[in-house]
Amino acid sequence: MPRLLVIGGMAAGMSAASKVKRTRPEWEATVLEAGPDLSYGACGLPYYLGGEVGDASDLYALSQEEIAKRGIEVKLRQRAVSLAQGRKQLEVEDLPSGRRRNEPYDALLIATGAMASLPDLRGLSGENLFTLHDFTDGRRLKSFIDQNGPRSALVWGSGYIGLEMAENLARRGIAVTLINRSTKIMRTLCPPLASRLIAEMEDKGVRVLLETRVVEVVQSHERIAAFETDRGRLSADLFLVATGVRPNTDFLKGSPLPMSQNGALKVDDFCATGIHGIWAAGDCCETNHVVTGRPVYLPMGTTANKMGRIAGANIAGGRERFPGVVGTAITRVFGLEAAVTGLSQPEAEAHGFFPVSVSIEAGSRAGYFPGGGAVSVHLVAGRDGRLLGGQIVAPEGTKGRIDALACAVTAGMKVDDFAYLDLSYAPPFAPVWDPLLVAAQALRSKL
């Protein structure tokens, strides 16, 4: 009986194992997970910590019973150590006992995801220092807040986790300072839209300090007392570092698997690594960027689920392709929604597109209809008129608009065509000229 061995029990790993068992029920499928949890929605952790998600169990996508019904064997607290080259065996450590063994396989899927990347700074440790990448991080942070009742928090990083945790800590009555070394918000958000988010955070009591470099960690009694920065000393009761992630592939160093400079596994459209019998999917991998046609590392749960499904189909004998990504993402910052897709103007310039861009504001609803607010739209196109990307910040309707824009960018649509799309209209939802169309018309004129 063929045996599938999966390293990683989250989105990509469970999607692949489930697909193989549906397609080839006679196969044996074993999932190894280094942590104590599997198949949960890590993206929901900020909202669990903020109290919007009431129970931690609500974050689990599959129960142990549901996984067992699918015929999948799960082994928790099992850490992959190394590949036995040419022998189709994986060296595994049982974390509770420390004992090591070899696990044989006919097909291996590497779905080890990503891990939090901490800045290289001496003394960056302590019982009040946190990251938020997995459920273990979430439990530890919740326990600290519940037991210690911190009155202040410093969040280092202005990406999705940093923004979401700034909001959810503030909702718990904690005074939050958010810092970042650069001027960037959400990595690629253009200045006019970023300014709206910063104003929203400051209006809700979050202190935002961009262009702030941490130069020293001040410790006191096994805790961090303050960060010494180039803008002065910043003290807090709780410190959360959300400065990014990196592929969790250290155990593969020295193996023949192809990896990029940051450690991300290189895979083809079929999620195959090029080494016989080994596939990879999810946040440990690069994937193709649809707009540039080049490899990119954009770890997202949506991508991991799709790649896992594709990998599982191909392990089971199929020939399905994963087309790649355009980097679509969305988040909420208090009363504003922010979303991006495709390339920002600096990214487009870096890839040689000679881009043209516009930023506009328009109402989210018909002018006479109560409620709503301003929709900020930023569009980027090449000189040939091809849509390359876009960004939106608004109090409502952002998901529908960014998804429409993601479709257009993926399809390589020209601005001329996009500007006259038959988008829906009714006073509670949009004006006659949707903000996307207003932006597209402005971009047409500029082109």
- The answer to whether the beta carbons of residues 387 and 418 sit under 8 Å apart is yes
- The answer to whether the beta carbons of residues 293 and 302 sit under 8 Å apart is no
Query: What string of DSSP letters covers 254-288?
Result: TSSS-B-TTSPBP--TTSB-SSTTEEE-STTB-EE
Residues 6 or more apart in contact with residue 219 via CB below 8 angstroms: 123, 126, 225
43 is catalytic: yes
Which of the residues 43, 190, 284, 407 is marked catalytic? 43
What tokens appear for 261 in the block?
């400079």
Q: Which phi and psi (to 5°) does residue 25 adopt?
A: -60, -20
DSSP state of 250: G
**Which residues face 229 on adjacent strands?**
214, 232
Residues 6 or more apart in contact with residue 323 via CB below 8 angstroms: 269, 288, 290
Distances (CA, A) of 339 to 119, 245, 355: 26, 20, 20
CA atoms of 438 and 420, how far apart (whole Å): 10
Which residue carries 């009694």 as its tokens?
221
Question: In this structure, are strands 329-333 and 295-296 parallel, antiparallel, or unpaired?
Answer: unpaired
What tokens appear for 343 in the block?
């390339």
Give the residue numbers marked as catalytic. Answer: 43
